[in-house]
Amino acid sequence: TVTGGWLDTKNLDAEYWYRNLRGTVEFEQATGALLTDGFRFFVEVGPHPVLGVAVGESAEAAGVDAAVLGTLRRGEGGQGQVLRAVGRAWERGLGVDWSGAFPGARRVELPTYAF
């Protein structure tokens, strides 16, 4: 977010991190670049999601429908919370390989009538 755009990871050296701590954060510019490039799913991995609101505001300002998902919350961690976030991404259209989370499970067709 210091450059506001793409960065080759070989440049993530001590100088970069120093600039990251001392320089202006170009968060909206970086988020806008991702939205322009077609990214529509944003996952915040951390014990207390704080950037999700800003990402959502950037998407709204750009007029783009994007899914912004937090995986953990204080006091609500673990695999269940991560699976809920992945489930929210799946319901928004992200392809998910569930086989690792549900070994031996299989997909079944549901009836087309209301229960």
Q: Consecutive 10-residue runs of the chain (115 residues): their mean pLDDT?
A: 83 87 88 94 84 92 93 80 90 92 89 80
Rg value, the chain, Cα: 18
Distance of alpha carbon 104 from the chain centroid:
28
Q: What share of the chain is helix, strand, coil (3-state, %, to 5)?
A: 45, 10, 50
For the chain, domains (ranges, CATH) are 9-100 (3.40.366.10)
pLDDT of amino acid 115: 67
CA dist 109 and 112 (Å) reads 9
pLDDT of amino acid 36: 94
CA dist 36 and 28 (Å) reads 12
